[in-house]
Amino acid sequence: MAKIKTIGVLTSGGDAPGMNAALRAVTRAAIYNGMRVKAIYRGYKGLVLDEIEEFQTQNVSNIIHHGGTIIKTARCKEFTTPEGRQLAYDTLRKHKIDALVVLGGDGTFTGAKCFAEEFDVPIVGVPCTIDNDLCGTDYTIGYDTALNTVIDAVDKIRDTASSHERLFFVEVMGRDAGFLALNAALASGAEAAVIPEVSIKDDLLSEVIQSGFRKTKNSSIVLVAESEVTGGAQTVANRVKSEHPEYDVRVVVLGHIQRGGSPSAADRILASRLGAAAITALVEDQRNVMVGVQNDEIVYVPFAKAIKDDKPLDMELVRTLRALSI
Ligand code: ATP
């Protein structure tokens, strides 16, 4: 393959804490390897609409500790059409961009895979999503920070829950994956997690509430993953309220605070490693792969595998949560 002289980099889809740290790593590692860097604003939208700026090392100074993304992110409908992707390719040609590094989640890599099948452009993905739902990587950038944000919020909710002897259902993000809800439940000492991977009939929710709330505790917290399968915290709360009208039930939807904030140490380190690894991947002639981490080693995962819908959840965590919530 011809030597890559210029890369384009973009952040796409939902933002995640650590995207800036990853952008910094990609930019610096590329320049370190003799490449030019063109930052593409607003994800694929910036490719379609030609919103591009050349970055030097100083463009990414003092951003490692900031949440969000300085080059913005967006959802881009045009890119899901062949006409939109042709416009994106024309922009790449115009700016002499030889390869792309895309920072995002499932949808971003689906788009990248599609683009790579139509045009001869090497693409490397860096997994940035608070949902941790990409296959082939143990962790995604943003997940650890979001987990800490949820725990912090649940600690505060616990104070008021125990003062008023209430039962709280706290909804967390996850896009149909229960990693955030389950691990946050474990780390915050919640009574249960309602997650899409485990059937609601089997989650022993009633049993937990009966044995915990009624007999031994004066308050309870249940984390609910947002998902069509769980129906969200309000749906679960309604069900419990109708079965147990005697309980003082409250619902909290944590929402977008989970996406914000300064990235944790773990996320900054992961972002730095994976951002640099994306450039190594291009230097090594890898194309159309996501860089990930497995057992603390950097791995290259084909897009098709990364976006598969079946990242396994560790059932041992489910059993541990049940055992510890008595
Ligand atoms: P998160 O998981 O945090 O929401 P994401 O990367 O999954 O992030 P999406 O909004 O699903 O976010 O996808 C980002 C962008 O990728 C979309 O706005 C669209 O431009 C592009 N994309 C998604 N799916 C496709 C597809 N099937 N074909 C082409 N492009 C796509």
**317 assigned to some structural domain:** no
CB 84 within 8 A of CB 76: yes
Q: What distance in Å separates the CA atoms of residue 231 and residue 206, rounded to the nearest whole number?
A: 17
Is the Cβ–Cβ distance between 214 and 208 less than 8 Å?
no
SS3 39: strand
Q: Given the CA of residue 44, which atom of ligand 1 is nearest to it?
A: 20
User: What domain range includes position 277?
Assistant: 6-142+263-308
The whole-number pLDDT of residue 211 equals 62
My answer on whether 290 and 186 are in the same domain is no
CB 229, CB 193: distance < 8 Å: no
Together in a domain, 96 and 226: no
Task: Looking at the structure, tell me whether residues 252 and 160 fall in a common domain.
Answer: yes
Structure tokens at 27: 């930019």
Please check whether residues 130 and 274 belong to one and the same domain.
yes
In a domain, 315, yes or no: no
Q: Long-range CB contacts (< 8 A, 24+ apart) of 154-159?
A: 154/184, 154/188, 154/190, 154/221, 154/223, 155/188, 157/221, 157/252, 158/188, 158/189, 158/219, 158/221
Atom of ligand 1 minimally distant from the CA of 106: 7
The pairing of beta strand 220-225 with beta strand 167-172: parallel
Instruction: Say yes or no: 177 and 133 in one domain.
Output: no
pLDDT of residue 1: 62
The CATH number that applies at residue 219 is: 3.40.50.460
The angle formed by the CA atoms of residues 29, 32 and 36, to the nearest 5 degrees, is 85
Residue 189: inside a domain, yes or no?
yes
* Residue 49: half-sphere exposure toward Cβ, Cα within 13 Å: 11
Query: Are 268 and 202 found together in one domain?
Result: no
- Domain identity same for 100 and 44: yes
Substitution candidate for ligand 1 out of 75, 109, 311 with most atoms within 8 A of CB: 75
Residue 162 lies in a domain: yes
DSSP H helices, 98-164, are 106-118, 143-164
Distance 291 CA to ligand 1 centre (A): 18
Same domain, 135 and 102: yes
Kindly state whether residues 132 and 166 are assigned to the same domain: no
Say if residue 206 is in the same domain as residue 72: no
* pTM value surpassing 0.75: yes
Q: How many Å lie between the centroid of ligand 1 and the Cα of residue 7?
A: 20
Candidate list 15, 98, 106, 131, residue with the active-site label: 131
Per-residue confidence (pLDDT) for residue 163, from 0 to 100: 84
Domain assignment of residue 313, yes or no: no
Q: Quick one: 81 and 221 in the same domain?
A: no
Is 11 a member of any domain? yes
- Asked if residue 246 and residue 225 are part of one domain, the reply reads yes
Total domains present in the chain? 2
> Which neighbouring-strand residues pair with 104?
127
Q: Whose CA is nearest to atom 19 of ligand 1?
A: 76
User: Does any domain span residue 314?
Assistant: no
Q: Which segments of the chain have a pLDDT < 70?
A: 1, 200-217
Task: Please indicate, yes or no, if residue 321 is contained in any of the structural domains.
Answer: no
Ligand 1 mean position, distance from CA 13 (Å): 6
